Structure 1
Amino acid sequence: MPLPAELIAILRRHRLSQFGDTQVAQANTLGLVFTTKNGTPLEPRNVNRAFETLCRRAGVRSIRLHDLRHSCATLLFAMGVEAATVQRILRHSSISVTTGTYVDVIEQVQRSAVAGMDSLLNPAR
């Protein structure tokens, strides 16, 4: 999956940090990107709790970590990215999962596009 260059740089620094910590390097036999301080797999509940704490500290409404996928898809559609590309980025099994889940967003983008065309064709309005 293609990733933004800045994210790749962050992940590389994180990986080097993992290799520098002998305990983590030895315990992380699965080659996981994210582990506990001891190098063992993360528990989903702990990840969700940590994310809730980050939301509180940032002063933003608490959301589920999974909701970031929806935010990503919504932003991609708002940028005009095609549904098939969004499907591949989100790793949905089919295009119908993507379009079915984000039908409201897609319709909103379409309405915005039509309104844009209307203003181009009728600049006096």
Structure 2
Amino acid sequence: MIEQTELIITEWNYQPPLNYNEAEDKILSFTSLDVMKKRAPTKKGIACRFTCQFVIGHTTILEYVGEDSYVIDLPDVIDKRELLIMIRNSYSKFQEKFDLRKFGTILQGRTLAPLDESQIGLDSILPLLV
């Protein structure tokens, strides 16, 4: 059995730019994924941490970090397809939380970039679930 935990926002550091009108079209964003192994006597799992930065030039206007976990029974075997679904679900929750919190910021008209699945090293993550 696979259980997904609630996504926890561990950071939301917003620093509004000095000039909204000039800054709005110069905003770039970068998203990264870190995956960590979790283990207990009868369970295994992974924790997914997504980090997104919105920057203008060299100035970060938002650093947003969210963490989500999966707890899996030890006998269960996870394949690449299932792992990718798990990561997609976590990223979807990360996007939903962003969409709720962005209002009242210069980012209210923006969305997070889609997850670039070609950059996810599924082969290096799967051994964490053995």
TM-score with structure 2 setting the length: 0.29
TM-score with structure 1 setting the length: 0.30
Greater fraction of residues in strand: 2
Higher relative contact order (CA 8 A, sep 6+): 2
Larger CA Rg, structure 1 vs 2: 1
Greater fraction of residues in helix: 1
